[in-house]
Structure 1
């Protein structure tokens, strides 16, 4: 008997923390709904290349370091399709952030502000909190 397996999409997001604040982006098509920079992998694209392309497109950063995977979740999302969302902690202290047309505004939020926002992915608040945890661990280990 043949088994049915789900087809799913992969989405990659970035947690960029500067001065102990995380960058979040307001969606242009859904005001007051917030996101992290990133996007999906296009057909035939390699994972890291897709991630770097999305970060450049969405916030204008070309030179950044991927520090670690901060969190992931497998969820049913828009139109009820399964999505594997991966959140990477990145660093870039110098470059200015330039928003694409996909985002109306951006904010830098402290860890204690994470729960004050509505996010595009249901587990995104947890993902951002885990990004802060990884950021603190990396800072402690670097000392």
Structure 2
């Protein structure tokens, strides 16, 4: 699961520090821990990767992506709004930044991210 977070017309992205998609830009997010709700997982993962606290909103969309050794990742991305904190890459994020729509086509994005954001009407203005 992941978070779609906007600020001043820009989208928050993190550069993955570890597999899957190490070195590629993606939404902040990760795995849901046992017994954890999607909402709690979004809040935890965003805080761990970016230092930001968020309020989790509605589901933007869901997609299945192939992973290593035949694993399939079920990804659910939620809209979220920053409520506090200071942007700082940490945990498994090598970098974090706000990106304007025009920048998205120039960045090395995780596979299928741009297409999913377009399909869900979740691109920055």
Q: TM-score range by the shorter chain?
A: 0.7 to 0.9
Contact 1:57 1:100 survives alignment (8 Å): yes
CA separation of 1:115 and 1:67: change in aligned 2, threshold 3 A: same
In the TM superposition, residue 17 of structure 1 has moved relative to its aligned partner by 0.8
Mapped to 2, the partners of 1:93 and 1:112 lie a distance apart of 26
The Cα offsets for residues 35-87 of structure 1, whole Å up to 9 and x where unpaired, read as 2111111223222222222122111223x222322222112123331111111
Aligned-partner Cα distance in 1 for 2:108–2:69:
19
Q: How far is the alpha carbon of 1:94 from its aligned partner?
A: 4.8
Give the 5 Å matches for 1:1-143: 12-29=1-18, 30-31=22-23, 33-62=24-53, 64-92=54-82, 94-120=84-110, 122-129=111-118, 130-132=121-123
- Output the CA distance in 2 between the equivalents of 1:55 and 1:67: 13
How many residue pairs are counted as aligned between the two chains?
120
**SS at 1:112's partner residue?**
helix
Separation in structure 2 between the aligned mates of residue 54 and residue 77 of structure 1, nearest angstrom: 20
What SS does structure 1 have at the residue aligned with 2:89? coil
- CA deviation vs aligned residue, 1:4-50 (integer Å, no higher than 9, x gap): xxxxxxxx11111101011111122433x112111111223222222
Report if the CA contact (8 A) 1:73-1:123 is conserved. Answer: no
More helix, by proportion: 1
Q: Gaps spanning 5+ residues in structure 2: where?
A: none
RMSD: 2.1
Q: Contact 2:17/2:93 (CA < 8 Å) preserved in 1?
A: yes
Q: Displaced runs of 4+ in structure 1, greater than 3 A?
A: none
Does structure 2 conserve the Cα–Cα contact (< 8 Å) formed by 1:99 and 1:105? Answer: yes
